[in-house]
Amino acid sequence: MKPEITPFQRRRSLTENELAVIPWLKLLSNDERLRAIEDLKITDALPGDFLCRTGRPVTYWFGVIDGLLKMSSDNAEGQTMTFTGVPPGGWFGEGTALKRECYRYNIQALRKSLVAGLHVDTFHWLLDHSIGFNRFVMNQLNERLGQFIAAREIDRMTNPNIRVARSLAALFNPVLYPGLGAVLRITQQELAYLVGLSRQRVNEALTTLAGAGAIRVEYGGLRVTDLKALRTQAF
C-alpha cells in the first residue's frame, strides 16, 4: 500500500489566474507583492482532508481559492461543534497566526478544494511593512468576531428554518468572502454538515426559504435573492 500523500506534499506555486482572485494582494506595494507571491503555495485538498488540526502549531495563513471547508472543534464528550463554513474567497486563521499559537479548531475539506497558504513568517513580515495588509487583517478580525457571536446565537436557535437562513447569510459575508458573489455552490448534505441538521430537514428549510423569496435553489447550488431577509426575518 502506497503511503498517503498529504495536502502539504501536494503544494505548488500559484498560477496567474489563482493569484488574481486573492483580494489582499491588490493592497500591497510591488516589493511586498513580489515577496508574498514568492512565498505563497497552493494545494489540492480532497474531501475529508484536514488543513488544520486542534493542538498543532500554526505554520500558514490559509485562503480558499475554490471549494468549501468546514471549521469545527470536538468537545470532551467527542461531539463535534461546527463554527462556520469557508467558501471561495475566504482567508482564515489570522488570529492564530498573529499569536503564533496552536490551532484551537479543525479545518476540513467538505469537497475537493484549492487552498492557498502564506507562511506565518511572511504573514508577520507583511504586518511589519504593509499598511494595506494591516487594514485587511484588521477588517478580517472585526468581521470574524461578529461572525462567531452570530454562530453562538445560531447554535442556540431551535427553529430549523431560521438556523439554515442565518447560516446561509453568514456564508455571504462580502468582507470575509469577497469572491463568492450571489451563488453558493453547495449540496444539501454539505449544508447539513455546516448547520448541524439532517439533510431532509435542511431540504425542508430550503423549500421554506425559497417560498419566501429569500433564495432560489439552482442546479449544484443556491442563489441568494434577499440577503437581508436571511439575516433578519423569521421563517
Closest by Cα among 215, 216, 217, 211 to 227 = 215
pLDDT in tens, 185-218: 898 999 998 888 899 999 999 999 999 999 999 8
∠ CA 128-134-145, nearest 5°, is 130
Strand blocks (E) in the chain? 41-45, 50-52, 60-66, 69-74, 80-86, 91-92, 106-109, 113-119, 183-184, 215-218, 221-224
| Same domain for 115 and 52 | yes
Which DSSP symbol is given to 156? T
The average confidence (pLDDT) of the chain is: 90
Determine, yes or no, domain membership for 104: yes
Determine, yes or no, domain membership for 135: yes
Determine, yes or no, domain membership for 187: yes
Closest by Cα among 106, 82, 77 to 195 = 82
Residue 180 pLDDT greater than 90, yes or no? no
CATH assignment of the domain containing 217: 1.10.10.10
Question: What pTM was estimated for this model as a whole?
Answer: 0.87
